[in-house]
Amino acid sequence: FKHYIIMKVLVTGAAGFIGSHLSEKLVSEGIEVIGIDSFLDYYPRQFKEKNLTNLKKSKNFKLIESSITEADLPAILSDINVVFHLAAQAGVRSSWGKQFSIYAKNNIEATQVLLENLKNCNIERFVYASSSSVYGDTSKLPMDEEDTPHPISPYGVSKLAGEHLSLLYYKNYSVPSVALRFFTVYGPRQRPDMAFHKFLKNIFEDKPIEVYGNGEQTRDFTYIADIVDATYSAAFANGAEGQVFNLGGGSRMKLKEILNIMQKLCGKEIKINYSETQKGDVKHTFANTAKARKILHFHPSTSVEEGIASEMEWIKEFYGF
Ligand code: NAD
């Protein structure tokens, strides 16, 4: 690991699911965190306010409510060591049609504006949150960083564009970028549009669960604390600059198997409605994490059973079930 002391970092998307957890970890390490978030209305603000509850109590955390493209970036970045760029318009299914302009603005343009401002800053690292969705619907599993990406959703295209921008600012302007491809992240504060969140909520409300496709699709689920640890390491790890890393939890499972686990944990009978596969959804994801294990010392350690149990506790508390 590189030896430098992180003094002050910028976390974009700090009010979101992953950004708020990462900011808490940084603050707990004694690092000063500037968070920026535009509170996109993709899901209700109340979730994000709740995500920030602990951070607001810390003197080491300051939040700027603004879009990246409208913020005074030269002033914000003047004394920043590391940038964790997590802000994005997330979600595969809503990235078609007119909505694409929201993806283009927040995932592509905002990344370019940030990188442009980092050309002349002496930062130690720029960590970009990419996605397994850049791979698309491949039958070659596990997915390897060297594989040619073929995204099948506009969201995947926008995340891949951000990844390419990060790497070309590394090649041309020596911005020390690292791109992390997150594979389906879950745990407390998971976004309300994501499957585990919707499933658990419906189970407690005795509503049927909507499964797109036949439930045979698999995902490499990754627990939030494991993602946060690896994202943190990406700021320090030697040899990580200019590189792309898969971050998958190593718990590849069928959606059907997940529902069985939830049924046992919640102690309730689950009703399932199967509906058509959604355009842009891939059949399988499965990460080859050898590179992240070697260079980022990535050791995902949370089993799906443990992880779902902790998300379930959070869901119960959040909704008062
Ligand atoms: P999230 O929606 O909870 O968090 C993203 C935050 O970014 C939101 O609070 C949003 O308001 C903010 N934001 C968006 N555009 C902005 C802008 N232009 N300026 C300032 N703030 C802006 O999503 P998340 O699940 O925490 O995802 C975090 C990152 O990880 C995203 O880049 C996402 O693409 C990536 N990712 C997530 C997953 C996952 O499973 N959750 C998987 C792969 C990749």
Q: Which residue has the tokens 């640890």?
A: 229
DSSP element (H, E) containing 264: helix 255-266
Q: Are 205 and 271 in contact (CB under 8 A)?
A: no
In sequence order, the 6+-apart residues with CB closer than 8 A to the CB of 306 are 223
Task: Give catalytic status of residue 155 as yes or no.
Answer: yes
Pocket of ligand 1 (CB under 6 A): 12-13, 15-19, 36-40, 48, 67-68, 86-90, 106, 110, 129, 131, 159, 182, 184-185, 191
pLDDT (0 to 100) of residue 251: 83
pLDDT in tens, 103-124: 999 999 999 999 999 998 889 9
Q: Which amino acid residue places its CA nearest to atom 28 of ligand 1?
A: 86
> Tokens at residue 21, please?
């957890």
Residue of 155, 170, 186, 232 with catalytic role: 155
Does the predicted TM-score (pTM) go above 0.95?
yes
pLDDT in tens, 123-174: 999 999 999 999 999 999 999 999 999 999 999 999 999 999 999 999 999 9
CA dihedral 193, 195, 197, 202 (to 10 degrees): 100
Task: Name the residue of 34, 99, 158, 182 to mutate for ligand 1: max ligand atoms within 8 A of Cβ.
Answer: 182
Give helix 304-319 / helix 195-204 axis angle, nearest 10°.
Answer: 60
pLDDT in tens, 236-291: 999 999 999 999 998 899 999 999 999 999 999 899 999 999 999 999 999 999 99
pLDDT (0 to 100) of residue 212: 93
Region 180-191: mean pLDDT is: 98
Question: At residue 218, does pLDDT exceed 90?
Answer: yes
> Tokens at residue 48, please?
């994000």
Residue of 9, 8, 12, 28 whose CA lies nearest to 229: 28
Residue of 255, 218, 211, 227 whose CA lies nearest to 141: 218
In sequence order, the 6+-apart residues with CB closer than 8 A to the CB of 274 are 211, 213, 214, 215
Distance 182 CA to ligand 1 centre (A): 11
Omega of the bond prior to 142 within 30 degrees of 0, cis? yes
pLDDT class of 5 with cuts at 50, 70, 90: confident
Distances (CA, A) of 128 to 47, 83, 108, 171, 273: 23, 8, 12, 15, 36
pLDDT class of 7 with cuts at 50, 70, 90: confident
